[in-house]
Structure 1
Amino acid sequence: MTVKDRDSYNLAMTIPIISTKLYIPPSRPNVVVRPRLIERMSEGLHRKLTVISASAGFGKTTLLSEWLAVCDRPVAWLSMDEGENDPACFLTYLFASLQSIATSRGDGVFGFLQSPQLPPMESMITTLINEVSFIQNHFVLVLDDYHVIKAGPIDQAIALLIERMPPQMHLVIATREDPRLPLARLRVRDQLTEVRAIDLRFTASEAGEFMDQVMGLQLSKKDITLLESRTEGWVAGLQLAALSIKGQSDASSFIQSFGGSHHFIVDYLVEEVLQQQSASVLTFLLSTSILDRLCGPLCDAVLGSRLGGYPASSSSGQEILEYLEQANLFIVPLDSARSWYRYHHLFGDLLRTRLQQSIGASDAAELHIRASEWYEDNGQEIEAFHHAVTAHDIERAARLVEGKGVPLLFRGAVAPVRNWLDSLSKEELDARPSLWAIYASSLLLGGQTTGVEQKLQSAERALQGAEQGAEQDAKNLDTIGHIAAIRATLAVSKHEAATIIAESNRALAYLHPDNLPVRTATIWSLGYAYHLQGDRAAASKAYTEALSNSQMIGHVTITILASLGLGNIQVQENQLPLAAETFQQVLQLAGDPPLAIACEAHLGLARIFYEWDDLEAAERHGQQNVLMARQFADTDRVIAGEVFLARLMLTQGKVSGAAALLTKADHLARQHNYGNQMPIIADLQVLVHLQQGNLAAAAHLAEKNGLTISQARVHLAKGNTTLALRLLESKQSELKDEKLKSTVLMAVALHWLGDKGKAAPILLDALAMAEPGGFIRTFVDEGTPMNRLLCEVADQGIRSDYIDKLLAVFEAEVEVRVVPSGSSLIEPLSGRELEVLKLIAQGLSNGQISERLFLSLSTVKGHNQHIFDKLQVKRRTEAVAQARKLGLL
C-alpha cells in the first residue's frame, strides 16, 4: 500500500458548492430574438456537441439563455471559473450540475472525492457516464466560460465524455477560444454544431431592433447600418455605443466619428459610459470590480466608507445592483431572485484595469482584505483565502490555510494552496515554519513523495530560528508534531512499523490538543503499525480511538480506514460474523457508487464468504475488489485481490489458472517491491505445487518464506508425518487465526499417523475455536483425511449440528462429478477418482495413496483401473498427461 492511497494524514476533501454557478442565467425581458441561431442550436441536438466560440461581448451566454427558454429538454448548467482547473473542484461541480436534473443519480459519486487520492480521471468520467446513462429523458449539459480551463486533464476528461456519452445527452460549450478537443474528428463524423463570432454578429436589422427595443434609441437606418459596420455586429460594442449615444445631443455626428476596431473602441466607450455616471456609482463599479460575484452585503462590506451615497437615495449595495441591471450597465444576474450578479467579463476586466490606474496598491489591497473578511465571516474560507493572497497579506492567508479545526488544504483547496506556497520566497516561508509543513502536506495530497522530506527539513531549520513567545512557542510545538505526523505517513507507505510508531508518538507529544484532524490520522497510523507488528490488542485500541474521533469531526477517510482495520482484526480473531458486519458498514459509509477505498471491505467479505462456503458470493466480492482496486495507481491492492481469486480457482479445481494468476501477481510484487505480499503469494503457490506434485518447489518456497504451516503440509505430502507434527508442535502460535489453522492440520497429521486417540481431542479443540465464527472451508479444504476424522468422531457419539453441517458439505463435494467442458471422456471422473488422480500426479505410490485416503490397497488399484479406462490410457504417466491435456489437473 502506497502513500498515494493509504494516506493516514489526509482528511476528506469537502468542497463547498457555490450554487449560483449552477443557475441558468434568466432570459432578459427585452432581447433581440434570433430565430436563425435558435434554429441552428435546436437542429444540432441530434449531434453530440455544440460549441459557441467567440470573444467577449458577442452574446454567447445570452443566446444560450434564450435557446434554453424554448428548449424542451432538462438542462444542467455550470458557469466555469479558474477553480475548475483543479480536478477535484471540476468533478464536484460537474456532478452537482447534473444532480440538478437527476437528483437520484450520482449521490455516491461525491464520495470519490473524499478518498485520500482521486482515482484516475478516466474512472471518474466512466462513473459519470454510467450514472447519466440511467437518465431516461434527453437532456443538455452546458459548460459556460470554458476558456478559463487551462488544465490538460480536464480537456482529456471532456474529450472522453464526448466520446462515450449516452445518446440522450447533448453537450454545449460556450468559450472565448476554441477548446482543446478533437473538433476536426467530430466535424468529419457530423457530431459537431458550431456557432462562431461571424454567426453571433448582429445583422443590420438585428442591430436596429437592438437599438430600438432594448436600448430605447430611435436611429435612422443609415446610422444603424454605419454603426453595425463600425462595430462589425459586436453586441457589446453596440451596447457601449448606445450608452454613449444617450449622452449625445447629435447622435448622427457621434456615429460618424465612431471608428476603429472594437479592441480600441472599448477603452473610449467605457470612458464615455463611466464619465456619465455619478461619483458614487463610479466608486461602486471600480471598488467591486475585484469580485468575481456580487451580492448586496458583500458589496457593502467591500465599499465600507468609500461610498458617499447611492443613486436615487438608495442606501444599500443590493439596491445599486438592481439599478445597474435596470441601466444595462453590463451586469448579469446569476439567480432568479436577483441576489447574486457578476459583471460582464470584458466590462469587469476594464473596470479592474481602471481601478489599478486610479488607486494605489495599498488601497487595492484594503478592498481585497475587506472581501476576505466578509467571506470568512460567512463561512467561505476558500474565497477568503483567494482575496488574502491577492492582497499579499501573508499572515492572513497563512491563518486561513491553517483553518479552524480542518486545514484549508483538506477542504478542496489543494491546488490554490500549493500554488500560493510555490509563489512564496524561502525567507517568507522560513518566517512561518508551519507553512513548510503545510507545503509538505500539499505534496503528499498530490500523490507526490519526492521533495516531502526536503520541505520537512526546511521546516525544522526554520523552527530553530523562530521567534519566541508563549503563543508562538505553542504554534511551533504543533508544527513539530505536524512534521512528525507527515513522516509517520511516509513510513506507512513503506510498512515500516518501527518508524511509524516513533514518529507517531513524537507527533502526539507535540501536536496541540485541539488539532484533532492530524491527531486522529496519527492515531490511525499507530494502529496500522501495531497491526504490522502483530500486536492486535494495541492496534484495535488505536483503531477504535481513531474511529471515535473521526466520526466526531466528520473525517470520512479515517472512519473508513479505522473500520477496515478493526474488521481485519476481527477476521484474524476468528470473529467472522462481527467482521462481516463491520465490512458491510464500510460499504454503506462509502456510498453508491462507493469510494475506491471500499475495495478492501469487498476483499474482507470475499474471504469471509469463502470460509462460509458461499463461493458464489465470495467470487462476486473478490471480482468487485479487483475492479475497484484498479482505480488506484501504484498499489498492491489489486495483487491482494487476485491472490484471493487464485485461491478460489484452486478450490474449484482450476489449478493451471490459479498458477498463472499467482505467477502474474508474483511478478508485479517483485517489480514494484511489494514485499508484504510475497509471503501471501508464496503460501498459495505452495498449495499449487502440491496439487501439481512438485514437492521440491513447494518445499523450497515454504522454507524460503518461513511458512510453518506450509512446511508442515510439504512434510505430510512427502509422507514425513512425524516431521510435520514436530514442526507444528514446536511453533505453536497464540494468534487465534494461526492457532486454528495449525490445530486443524495437527489433527489431520495425528490421524495420518494412526494416533486416533490424540487426533480426536485436537479436532474437538479446533471445532470449539471455529464454531462461533462458522468456519467451513478451513476443515473441508483438508479433504478426505478430515472427512474421515469427523466421521470417526461422530461415530464415537460426539455429534453436534456443527459437525453434521461439515459432514454434509463433505458429502456434497464428494458427490460432485468432474468433467471439463468439451472433453472426450467416455464417462466423467467421480470426486474420489479425481482425488486419486491428483495423488498419482504428485508421484505417490499406490501404498502411499492407500495410507493417505485410508483406503485398502485393492480399492486404490480398482480406482486406478477406472481412471485408466475413462482416460483411455494404460499407464500412470499417460493418465497424468491426458488429465493435464483435458484440464483435470
Structure 2
Amino acid sequence: MAVPDKNGPVPTAPHADPRGDPFPRTQFAMPARPPTFLRRDRLAEHLDEALLTPLTVVGGAAGAGKTMLVADWAAALDGPVAWLTARAADKGCGTFWACLLQALRLAGVAPPIEVDAPAEAGHVDDALLTRLAVELSARDAPVVVVIDEYDRARDPEIADQLESVLRYAGRGMRLVLVTRTEPLLPLHRYRAAGAVTEIRNDELAFTSGEAAALLTLHGLHLPADDVGALVERTRGWAAGLRLSALAAQGEPDPQTYLKEFEADRTTIADFLVAEVLKRQRPETQDLLLRISILERCCPDLANALTERTDAGLILTGLHRENAFVEYLGHAWFRLHPLFGEILRARLRVCAPGLEAELHRRAAHWLRGCGSLDETLGHAAAAGDWECAAGAVVGDLAIGEIFTGLRSDDLSELFSHMGPEPRSPATDLVRAARELARCEVERGLCRLERAAQGLAGKNGPGEDDAPEVAAAQLSRALLEALAARLTGSPARAELAARAAERLRCEVPGRLLDAHPELTALLLTHLGATRLWAGRFGDARAALTTVVDSRRAASTAQAREECLGHLALIDYLQGWPDRAERKARAAVMTGDRRGCPLEPGPGLGYLVLAAVAVDRDELDRAQAFLDAAADASHPMPDPVVQAGRAIVTGRVLLARGETQAALEAVERTVVADVASPWAEAHTASVAAAAHLAEGRPETAAKLLEEEPGHEPLCLVGAAQAELAAGRPGPAVALLDRVRPQGRPGPAVTVRAALVRAQAAGASGDFATQRRLVAQALREARRERLRRPFHEAGPWLRPLLGTVPLSALAEGWLTPGPPSPGCPARPGERSPLPVVEELSGRERDVLRRLAEMMSTEQIAADLCVSVNTVKTHLKSAYRKLAVNRRHDAVHRARELGLL
C-alpha cells in the first residue's frame, strides 16, 4: 500500500487540474480485487523484477487481467506506490502531468514546493519536469509509479517527457506502464540495456491449471479435458474465462454450458464489441467482419474479401494494439476464437447473404495460393461445388478419398453435393466416392461422362492444360480402380499406360505432394495382374509400392501390396514367405474407417491359409474371422476368391465337405476369369469329392482346369491314384516340374502322391525316399496338412526308421526335433503374429493371476482403457478372443 514519504510532511495537494476540473478520486485509487481474483505466483514473481529495472511494461488485450495483476502486486509492496489511471491523457500534456503529480502527492511523495502543477492543459514547462526528475533522483528508496490505461496517452510529446523524467530520475523511480498497445517509448534501447521488464499478452494467458483454480473459485469443478477445451477456446483470456464462469454459475448444467455456449449470446460479446470492435474505425470494423469467416488470413486474402488494398497495415496495427488479432508468422494472422464467433454472428445480422459470397471469394483465392483443406471448407460453405471438386482434382488429391487419412472428411464434405453442377471435376469426384463404396456401375457411368467432358478440353493452346492433365491422370487412377473391382486386367493396363503418358504433363510438385496417387494406381494394376495370373508382372508393380518412401498417405497402399505379395507367395507354394509378408500387412494395417480396405483382410486370409497347411485349424478360423472384420463388404475379385478358397480349405480340414463345396461354389463376378482362382476352387472341390469317395468326379473337375497349374496337376494325380490308375497319375506329376520352381506346399504334396504311386507299384524303397524328402521339406515350413490328407497308407510308414525321426516333435508326438522345440505328446507352439510388447506381457501375467481389468489398471498405475487396449492388442497377436485362451496360449509359447 502507499505509505507517507519519509522525507517530510505531505503538503496540501491541489484538487483541480490546469483547466480547473476537480480530480476524480478513482483516477488515483488502486482497483479493488474481486473475491474471485486468482493470484498467479508466476506473474507476481516476474513483476518483482520491476523493482530492479527503471521501466516495466505490462501489455495485453482488453480483459487480459493486466490491471488486477499489477494492483495485487503493488498492494503488497512496502514502499510508496503512485497509481494513475490515465483517462485524461488525451486532454493535453499539462493535464497528464498535473494528474501524475497529484498521484505522487497521494502516495506520500511530496515534490518540492517549486514543482507546481502545470498552468496550461496543453503545455508543461521543461524546467518543471527537470526539477521533478532531480527531486526523484535524490530519494533513498524508489517510488513505484503505475500508469494504468497508458494506451490512452497517444501524444508523442507525453511519451518524450515521460522518458526524459524516467532517465534523469535514475534509481529514484520505477515506472510501470499497463497498456493495450506498444508504448511510444524507445523500448529498443531499454531492451538492449536490459533495463526493461516486460509481461506480454501470451504470458498473461491463463494456463489450464490456473483456469481450473479460477473456475473452482467460482464454485465450478470441471474435468481436466473440459478445462483444457475452455482454455483453448478462450486462448486463456482472463475476461473470457471469468465471464464464462459467471454465466455458467446460473446454469443447471454448468459443464455442458461451458462446452456448448454461443459466444455471441453472452456478456463476452458485449465486452468485445464495446472494448474492441467499436473502438476501431469503420473500415477496420468492416475488415474484421469480413475476415471473420476465415480460420487465418494474410493481407492479400483480406484484400480479396474487402476489395481494398490496405489490409496489411490494418492487420499489423490490430496485432500491435492487442485487438484480438494474433500473428502466426509469415504474414498470416488469425482472430481470437471468441472474437471470431462474435464477428460472424454480427456479419449475418449486418449483411445478410454476404457470408456465402465471402466464402466463395476466399475459396477461389485459396485455390491458387492456399491449402486444399481451407479451399474445400470455404467452397463447401459457399455451395461452390465446382470449385471444391476442381480443387481436389486439380491438386491431384483424388487419391486421398481412398487412403484413409482424410477419406471420412472428404466423404462427409462431398455428401452435401447435389446432382448439380455437372463438370468433369464433379463427375470424377462422384465417381471416386461411388467406387470407394464399390458401386461400380454408377462409378463407371460417372467416369464415362467425365471422359466426354474432358475430351472437349484437349484442344491445342489451352491455358488450363496442367489442370486438364491432372483431371486425366485422376481419371486414369479411377479407371485402374474400376478395372480392379471388375477383374479387368486389360482395362487396368490401358489406364496405367495413359497415366504414364500424363505424368510428364502434370507439375512435378503435385506428383511429389501426392505420392498416394502413383502408389494406388500401381496397387490396382498389381491386383489386376495377380487376378490374371501374371505373378511376375504383378510382383513388379506391387514391390515398387512396398519399396517406395514411407509417406503416411501411401501406408494403406503399401499394406495392400504386402497382402497381395503374400498371396502370390502362397499361391506359388511358399507358406513361410507368405506368412512373413502377411504378418507385415496385418501389423501395418491396424486402422479403421478406410473406404476400401482389402489389404489387412487379404493378409489375414493368407495367414489363415498358411495355418490350414500347418493343421492349426483354430488359429486358421481366428484369422478367417479377423479377415471378415477387416475387409470391405464388397472387396475386389482377388479377395472374394481368396476368402472362398480359404473358407473351403478350413471346412475341408474339419471334415465338413458339403459346406466346403458350397463355399467354393459362390460366384465371383469378374470380366475375366482368373486361372489360379479357378484352379484352387477346383482343387478344394475335388478334395471334397475325394473325401466322399468320388475320385472320378474329382478327376473330371480337374481335367477342365488349365493344364499348367501345379496344384491342379497334383490334385488330378491324387484323383487318378484314388481311381486305381497310377500310370496316368505319374504322368500328370511329371508335368509339374517344367513349370518353374514351385514351393514346398506343392512339392511336398507332389512327393507324397509319387510315394503313394511308387508303393502301389511295389517300389517301396522309392516310396520311403520320397516320404523322407517330403518330411524334410515340410519340416522347414511346418506343413502338416499334406500328410493328414495323404491317406491311411502313410501312417505305418511314419512309424518306421528313419522316417519316425524326421516326423517326431512336429508331425507326430515324440522328442522335439532340433530347431522345432516341443514337449512330448504336444504340437510345437504356434508362432504369434507379432511379438508382444513388455507392457502387454505385464498385463498377461496379471491376467494369469485372475486379476480383473480394474485391478490390473490399479496395479500398473494406468487407466482401465489403457489395459483394455493392451488386451485387445495381445488377443490379436495371439490369435485368440478370450482371456482364458490368451493365458493358455501365452503359456504354450513360454511367455508366462
TM-score by length of 1: 0.51
Deviation track 1:528-549 (CA, whole Å, cap 9, x = no partner) reads: 2332333322222221112223
- Report 1 or 2 for greater relative contact order, CA contacts < 8 Å, sequence distance ≥ 6: 1
Matches within 5 A, 1:690-705: 690-695=690-695, 698=698, 701-703=701-703
Quote the offset at 1:387 in angstroms: 2.6
Matches within 5 A, 1:331-370: 340-342=336-338, 348-356=344-352, 366=361
- Residue of structure 2 equivalent to 1:662: 660
Quote the offset at 1:752 in angstroms: 2.1
Q: 1:446 to 1:619 in 2, by over 3 A?
A: closer
Give the partner amino acid of 1:522.
L
Quote the offset at 1:789 in angstroms: 5.1
Say which SS state the counterpart of residue 555 (structure 1) adopts.
helix
Q: Partners in 2 of 1:407 and 1:806 — Cα distance?
A: 51
Say which SS state the counterpart of residue 316 (structure 1) adopts.
helix
Q: Partners in 1 of 2:641 and 2:219 — Cα distance?
A: 53
The answer on 1:459 being equivalent to 2:609 is no
Quote the offset at 1:604 in angstroms: 1.8
Calculate the aligned-residue CA RMSD, in Å. 5.6
- Residue of structure 2 equivalent to 1:606: 608
The answer on 1:291 being equivalent to 2:299 is no
The answer on 1:583 being equivalent to 2:582 is yes
Q: 1:484 to 1:403 in 2, by over 3 A?
A: closer
- Residue of structure 1 equivalent to 2:725: 720
Quote the offset at 1:559 in angstroms: 0.3
Give the partner amino acid of 1:507.
A
Say which SS state the counterpart of residue 293 (structure 2) adopts.
coil
Matches within 5 A, 1:339-488: 340-342=336-338, 348-356=344-352, 366=361, 376=370, 380-388=371-379, 397=388, 400-402=391-393, 406-407=397-398, 409-410=400-401, 411-412=406-407, 413-415=409-411, 418=414, 422=418, 425-426=421-422, 429=423, 433=424, 436-466=427-457, 467-469=459-461, 472-473=464-465, 476-477=468-469, 479-488=471-480
The answer on 1:319 being equivalent to 2:319 is no
Say which SS state the counterpart of residue 790 (structure 2) adopts.
coil
Residue pair 2:579, 2:606 contacting (<8 A) in 1 also: yes
Residue pair 2:703, 2:716 contacting (<8 A) in 1 also: yes
Quote the offset at 1:480 in angstroms: 3.9
Q: 1:599 to 1:674 in 2, by over 3 A?
A: farther
Decide which of 710, 719, 726 is 2:715's aligned counterpart.
710
Q: 1:734 to 1:297 in 2, by over 3 A?
A: same
Q: 1:297 to 1:711 in 2, by over 3 A?
A: same
Q: Partners in 2 of 1:371 and 1:745 — Cα distance?
A: 69
Give the partner amino acid of 2:432.
S
- Residue of structure 2 equivalent to 1:510: 502
- Residue of structure 1 equivalent to 2:540: 541
- Residue of structure 1 equivalent to 2:220: 70
Give the partner amino acid of 1:684.
V
- Residue of structure 2 equivalent to 1:754: 762
Which of structures 1 and 2 has the bigger CA Rg? 2
Residue pair 2:713, 2:736 contacting (<8 A) in 1 also: yes
Q: Partners in 2 of 1:564 and 1:776 — Cα distance?
A: 24
Is the deviation greater in 281-290 or in 729-738? 729-738
Quote the offset at 1:560 in angstroms: 0.6
Say which SS state the counterpart of residue 693 (structure 1) adopts.
coil
Say which SS state the counterpart of residue 493 (structure 1) adopts.
helix
Q: Partners in 1 of 2:646 and 2:273 — Cα distance?
A: 78
Q: 1:646 to 1:314 in 2, by over 3 A?
A: same
Say which SS state the counterpart of residue 525 (structure 2) adopts.
helix
Residue pair 1:385, 1:400 contacting (<8 A) in 2 also: yes
- Residue of structure 1 equivalent to 2:683: 683
Quote the offset at 1:589 in angstroms: 1.2
Q: 1:71 to 1:749 in 2, by over 3 A?
A: farther
Say which SS state the counterpart of residue 290 (structure 1) adopts.
coil
The answer on 1:556 being equivalent to 2:575 is no
- Residue of structure 2 equivalent to 1:734: 739
Q: Partners in 1 of 2:682 and 2:695 — Cα distance?
A: 14
Structure 2, unpaired ranges of 5+: 1-62, 66-210, 234-250, 327-332, 707-711, 817-821, 827-896
Q: 1:641 to 1:347 in 2, by over 3 A?
A: same
Residue pair 1:436, 1:456 contacting (<8 A) in 2 also: yes
Residue pair 2:648, 2:661 contacting (<8 A) in 1 also: no
Q: Partners in 1 of 2:722 and 2:336 — Cα distance?
A: 78
Residue pair 1:567, 1:583 contacting (<8 A) in 2 also: yes
Q: Figure out how many residues of one structure are paired with residues of the other and give that number.
A: 558
Quote the offset at 1:555 in angstroms: 0.4
- Residue of structure 2 equivalent to 1:332: none
Quote the offset at 1:667 in angstroms: 6.2
Residue pair 2:479, 2:495 contacting (<8 A) in 1 also: yes
Give the partner amino acid of 1:775.
L
Q: Partners in 2 of 1:349 and 1:594 — Cα distance?
A: 35
Deviation track 1:180-228 (CA, whole Å, cap 9, x = no partner) reads: xxxxxxxxxxxxxx9799x99xxxxxxxxxxxxxxxxxxxxxxxxxxxx
Q: Partners in 2 of 1:636 and 1:531 — Cα distance?
A: 8
Quote the offset at 1:309 in angstroms: 7.8
Give the share of equivalent positions with the same residue, in percent. 16
Q: Partners in 2 of 1:744 and 1:586 — Cα distance?
A: 32
Q: 1:803 to 1:407 in 2, by over 3 A?
A: same
Q: 1:487 to 1:363 in 2, by over 3 A?
A: closer
Residue pair 1:780, 1:810 contacting (<8 A) in 2 also: no
Quote the offset at 1:558 in angstroms: 1.0
Q: Partners in 2 of 1:246 and 1:526 — Cα distance?
A: 63
Q: Partners in 2 of 1:362 and 1:246 — Cα distance?
A: 28
Deviation track 1:247-278 (CA, whole Å, cap 9, x = no partner) reads: 9xxxxxxxxxxxxxxxxxxxxxxxxx988974
Q: 1:713 to 1:242 in 2, by over 3 A?
A: closer
Is the deviation greater in 519-528 or in 593-602? 593-602
Q: Partners in 1 of 2:415 and 2:368 — Cα distance?
A: 21
Q: 1:404 to 1:318 in 2, by over 3 A?
A: farther
Q: Partners in 1 of 2:593 and 2:430 — Cα distance?
A: 30
Deviation track 1:849-886 (CA, whole Å, cap 9, x = no partner) reads: xxxxxxxxxxxxxxxxxxxxxxxxxxxxxxxxxxxxxx
Say which SS state the counterpart of residue 441 (structure 2) adopts.
coil
Residue pair 1:287, 1:355 contacting (<8 A) in 2 also: no
Q: Partners in 1 of 2:652 and 2:565 — Cα distance?
A: 29
Q: 1:550 to 1:496 in 2, by over 3 A?
A: farther
Q: Partners in 2 of 1:534 and 1:682 — Cα distance?
A: 16
Q: Partners in 2 of 1:361 and 1:776 — Cα distance?
A: 68
Quote the offset at 1:392 in angstroms: 8.4
Quote the offset at 1:594 in angstroms: 10
Q: 1:238 to 1:698 in 2, by over 3 A?
A: closer
Give the partner amino acid of 2:445.
Q
Give the partner amino acid of 2:605.
L
Q: Partners in 2 of 1:765 and 1:693 — Cα distance?
A: 28
Q: Partners in 2 of 1:344 and 1:454 — Cα distance?
A: 44
Residue pair 2:545, 2:561 contacting (<8 A) in 1 also: yes
Q: Partners in 1 of 2:556 and 2:495 — Cα distance?
A: 21
Is the deviation greater in 573-582 or in 724-733? 724-733
Quote the offset at 1:78 in angstroms: 12
Q: 1:347 to 1:66 in 2, by over 3 A?
A: farther
Residue pair 2:305, 2:362 contacting (<8 A) in 1 also: yes
Q: 1:780 to 1:70 in 2, by over 3 A?
A: same
Give the partner amino acid of 1:354.
C
Give the partner amino acid of 1:712.
A
Give the partner amino acid of 2:519.
T
Residue pair 2:394, 2:470 contacting (<8 A) in 1 also: no
Residue pair 1:722, 1:753 contacting (<8 A) in 2 also: no
Give the partner amino acid of 1:485.
L
- Residue of structure 2 equivalent to 1:520: 519
Q: Partners in 1 of 2:325 and 2:468 — Cα distance?
A: 49
Give the partner amino acid of 1:452.
G
Give the partner amino acid of 2:220.
V
